[in-house]
């Protein structure tokens, strides 16, 4: 298969390249060359900017394209329309953030997606990100009807994750000592190893599968307590997990999801969250998951060789953590 990847050098994109090469496909990358430009020297690189300079794609043909970096409908529409006559199949990497309401535990691909009062808005914020992704999906489907695969991943984790939203926990647990953990040990967690996601996407593309799929895991229930216990086991840490109440954290100004990763506090009576989405359709289509311990081990190995002084993008500041733990303990 001749495969074009829009992006291809950051996190999921680079793992898609590796999965496609491992499966024997011929790869072309199209990007601006601003991130990891020296990766994959044996792969064809086309330079351009999908927001205004798609010239390098003119006159070329591929069997399929995977769009890893579309966030604005206008920009996605331009590439989809240009490539509609150049590829047989278009895969768009979306997000489970498209859904309008996470209050129910019954969210699947048929659930309503979010909308914008002004669909021409292009500023990406916490509120606009999901609806913009939903509009991007629609743009692709309109340009290539019956030839599109829409993948809605949940929290993607593993080596080369620039968000640090999962990496924080293996690293913090490995450091040991008293570790602040949020709210409830039985809070549900859904994550997917980037390598499992990439391998499945490439297989779906090669088979020319179409439709919309939520893509996260694992198959069975997973709790935050189980994730942290696995981090202790893999790292051999003697960390002491201290579960701190939701209201205390909120009153203290804690920021769910970024400052305290994997934490999605729920309101009274709420049964669902962004970490409880139904992925049965993708699992039935062959999506599978490696052991959590392997993901933790490989994430720690990658994190250990990151450059000295790297600025982590998520996680609790150590001093802030200790201040909150002292205040929590003083409550008796």
DSSP one-letter string for 106-123: ---TTSPBP--SSTT---
- End-of-domain residue from the set 96, 126, 153: 153
Distance CA 92, CA 65 (A): 9
In a domain, 281, yes or no: no
Asked if 258 and 313 sit in the same domain, the reply is: yes
Asked if 137 and 186 sit in the same domain, the reply is: no
* Bridge partners for 89 per DSSP: 64
In 3D space, the residue among 113, 116, 112 whose CA is nearest the CA of residue 125 turns out to be 116
What pLDDT sits at residue 274? 86
What pLDDT sits at residue 266? 82
Mean pLDDT of the chain: 96
Distance CA 229, CA 225 (A): 6
Asked if 143 and 249 sit in the same domain, the reply is: no
In a domain, 284, yes or no: no
What pLDDT sits at residue 271? 67
Asked if 9 and 107 sit in the same domain, the reply is: yes
Contact predicate 153/301, CB 8 Å? no
Mean pLDDT lowest for which of 41-50, 145-154, 260-269, 318-327? 260-269
Asked if 136 and 176 sit in the same domain, the reply is: no
Asked if 26 and 123 sit in the same domain, the reply is: yes
Q: Mean of the pLDDT values across residues 304-316? A: 95
Contact predicate 3/28, CB 8 Å? yes
Does residue 332 carry a pLDDT above 90?
A: no
In 3D space, the residue among 121, 100, 122 whose CA is nearest the CA of residue 111 turns out to be 100
Q: Mean of the pLDDT values across residues 120-141? A: 97
Write down the pTM of the prediction.
0.97
CATH number of the domain at 177, please: 3.90.25.10
Percent above pLDDT 70 for the chain: 99
Contact predicate 173/231, CB 8 Å? yes
> What is the per-residue pLDDT across 214-239, written as a single tens digit (0 to 9) for each?
999 999 999 999 999 999 999 999 99
- Domain range enclosing 71: 2-153
In a domain, 158, yes or no: no
Asked if 185 and 113 sit in the same domain, the reply is: no
**Encoding tokens for residue 292?**
């959590």
> What is the per-residue pLDDT across 133-192, written as a single tens digit (0 to 9) for each?
999 999 999 999 999 999 999 999 999 999 999 999 999 999 999 999 998 999 999 999
Distance CA 66, CA 241 (A): 41
In a domain, 259, yes or no: yes
Asked if 7 and 52 sit in the same domain, the reply is: yes
What pLDDT sits at residue 222? 97
Asked if 179 and 126 sit in the same domain, the reply is: no
In 3D space, the residue among 269, 66, 258, 278 whose CA is nearest the CA of residue 164 turns out to be 258
In a domain, 207, yes or no: no
What pLDDT sits at residue 105? 74
In a domain, 285, yes or no: no
Distances from the Cα of 142 to the Cαs of 11, 68, 99, in angstroms? 28, 18, 20
In a domain, 38, yes or no: yes
- End-of-domain residue from the set 98, 128, 153: 153
Asked if 185 and 295 sit in the same domain, the reply is: yes
Distance CA 183, CA 271 (A): 15
In a domain, 274, yes or no: no
* Helix 224-235 × helix 292-303 angle, to 10°: 60
What pLDDT sits at residue 106? 77
Asked if 20 and 148 sit in the same domain, the reply is: yes
Distance CA 36, CA 49 (A): 16
Phi, psi of 53 (to 5 degrees): -140, 85
What pLDDT sits at residue 272? 75
CATH number of the domain at 32, please: 3.40.50.720
SS3 of residue 132 by DSSP: helix
**Encoding tokens for residue 36?**
């990891």
> What is the per-residue pLDDT across 47-88, written as a single tens digit (0 to 9) for each?
999 999 999 999 999 999 999 999 999 999 999 999 999 999
**Count of the separate structural domains present in the chain:** 2
SS3 of residue 155 by DSSP: strand
Q: Which residues contact 184 (CB under 8 A, 6 or more apart)?
A: 224, 243, 246
Asked if 228 and 296 sit in the same domain, the reply is: yes
- End-of-domain residue from the set 101, 128, 153: 153
In 3D space, the residue among 104, 83, 78 whose CA is nearest the CA of residue 4 turns out to be 83
């Amino acid at each position: 298969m001749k495969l074009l990847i829009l992006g291809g050098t950051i996190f999921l994109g680079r793992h898609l390249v590796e999965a496609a090469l491992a499966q024997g496909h011929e790869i072309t990358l199209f990007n601006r060359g601003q991130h990891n430009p020296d990766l994959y020297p044996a792969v064809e690189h086309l330079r351009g900017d999908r927001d205004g300079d798609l010239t390098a794609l003119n006159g070329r043909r591929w069997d399929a394209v995977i769009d890893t970096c579309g966030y604005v409908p206008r920009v996605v529409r331009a590439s989809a329309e240009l490539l509609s006559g150049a590829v047989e199949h278009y895969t768009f990497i979306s997000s489970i953030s498209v859904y309008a309401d996470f209050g129910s535990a019954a969210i699947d691909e048929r659930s309503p997606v979010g909308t914008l009062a002004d669909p021409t808005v292009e500023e990406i914020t916490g509120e606009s990100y999901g609806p913009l992704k939903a509009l991007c999906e629609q743009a692709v489907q309109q340009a290539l009807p019956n030839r599109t695969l829409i993948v809605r991943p949940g929290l993607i984790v593993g080596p080369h994750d620039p968000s640090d939203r999962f990496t924080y926990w293996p690293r913090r647990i490995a450091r040991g000592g008293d570790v602040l953990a949020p709210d409830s040990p039985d809070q549900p967690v859904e994550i997917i190893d980037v390598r499992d996601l990439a391998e499945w996407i490439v297989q779906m593309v090669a088979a020319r599968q179409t439709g919309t799929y939520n893509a996260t895991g694992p198959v069975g229930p997973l709790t935050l307590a189980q994730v942290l216990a696995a981090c202790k086991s893999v790292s051999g840490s003697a960390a002491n997990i201290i579960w701190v109440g939701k209201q205390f954290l909120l009153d203290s100004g804690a920021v769910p999801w970024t400052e305290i990763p994997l934490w999605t506090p729920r309101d009274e009576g709420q049964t669902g969250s962004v970490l409880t989405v139904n992925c049965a359709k993708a699992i039935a289509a062959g999506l599978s998951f490696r052991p959590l311990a392997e993901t933790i081990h490989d994430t720690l190995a990658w994190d250990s060789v990151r450059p000295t002084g790297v600025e982590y993008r998520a996680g609790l500041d150590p001093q802030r953590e200790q201040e909150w733990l002292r205040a929590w303990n003083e409550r008796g």
